[in-house]
Chain A
């Protein structure tokens, strides 16, 4: 679901009402929709059998066929809240989840994360403003890494990612890392940016603000920033009986698997 697409129609402004209130009404309605979503859908859900998707498409043969195809490759899924941050939250969660139980790889990732703040500061981000998000990011990683068993690590991960404060800070920091990556490789990424914007402008408008949705370019940069590959499985109403798979960066061996349905990402498990 695209946040912000829900504003059209339904407001029924009559001519008698003062014009100035309309924008405020739209904002209020948007907040209301956001609240309904946040009251009913957890930030990151529990593991569910893939077949739970069928419930959403009871009469839709196109999707049911595709779920069938998807079930050949994936057994489980984990839903994320559709709040515009779903890619960053799903990617961040799935990436750390895979690392639990892989001691050496987790240490390696931890080091990469540890060095990331200085890299951002060198790129011109302000130390004082980046620090809070970085500190929380490292605290979350540390708490998951030092839990005594894999089971407890996974529980810690799930608890922290469902606490708004921690979870949103993880999203902010990954957004900053993604922005940093885009700006570091400006020459490369500038070719993919639409609308005559500089890479820095694009980052300020589309990457760093919360609740802004992600596109291909975000995903490629986020993968590069975390040194991880992701497979995005596209499921839409297009023709064909199977879903389309995209590995990002191209040709990688993906560790994180995400299900993309127009406007939203969830996590997939083989």
Chain B
């Protein structure tokens, strides 16, 4: 095979997303010559604290995709229990079965080869609306979310505002 299947598959998904965009995010490449590194803009989901924000994320795919999952990182600053302070997203579907770094209770929603950029993004958007505080990557955010919600809201609002300013310039 001259071109690895992972790269063909990613090309196909990118073309499909450009042709039939999915509500809530837009997708492109960080560098047009590298199909393994994507840049995605997530629109803060309506009726959540993140509404109105524009969050830029990067997805890094391994050569073994879709057998192994990509990594995802928020480039825009964001305050959320399941996104660590460096922006790394920690949700179960981006982890392989057996990879128990965050001690998830359920193995049911681990990485599967049938996941696509679209299904990943749908999970991440739903995570924004509904944090999982049982396995937090940002412990401070999780604690605030549970115990001082108004402070949590304030920090998220600041991120949303900052993200809007960044988009404008």
Contact = CB atoms under 8 A, between A and B. Distances in A.
A and B found bound together: yes
Interface stretch (B23-31, B48-56, B101-109): B101-109
A166 B1 CA distance: 9
A212 B5 contact: no
A165 B66 CA distance: 11
A208 B114 contact: yes
A169 B110 CA distance: 19
Contacts of B4: 165
A208 B1 contact: no
A168 interface: yes
A125 B111 contact: no
Interface in A131-184: 132-133, 136, 163, 165-166, 168-169, 172, 175-176
A130 B66 CA distance: 12
Nearest to B96: A209
B132 to A, nearest CB: 17
B67 A210 contact: yes
A86 to B, nearest CB: 15
The dominant DSSP class at the A interface is helix
Contacts of A130: 114
A126 to B, nearest CB: 7
A129 B114 contact: yes
A126 B115 CA distance: 10
A204 interface: yes
Given A129-B119, A201-B108, A212 B113 contact: no
B111 A209 contact: yes
Given A128-B16, A209-B96, A212-B97, A204 B115 contact: no
B100 to A, nearest CB: 7
B112 interface: yes
A89 to B, nearest CB: 13
A114 to B, nearest CB: 20
Given A129-B116, A133-B113, A168-B67, A4 B98 contact: yes
Nearest to B3: A165
Interface string B111-127: 11111100100000000
Nearest to B6: A165
A204 to B, nearest CB: 5
A175 B4 CA distance: 21
Interface of A: 3-4, 23-24, 27, 125-126, 128-130, 132-133, 136, 163, 165-166, 168-169, 172, 175-176, 201, 204-205, 208-212
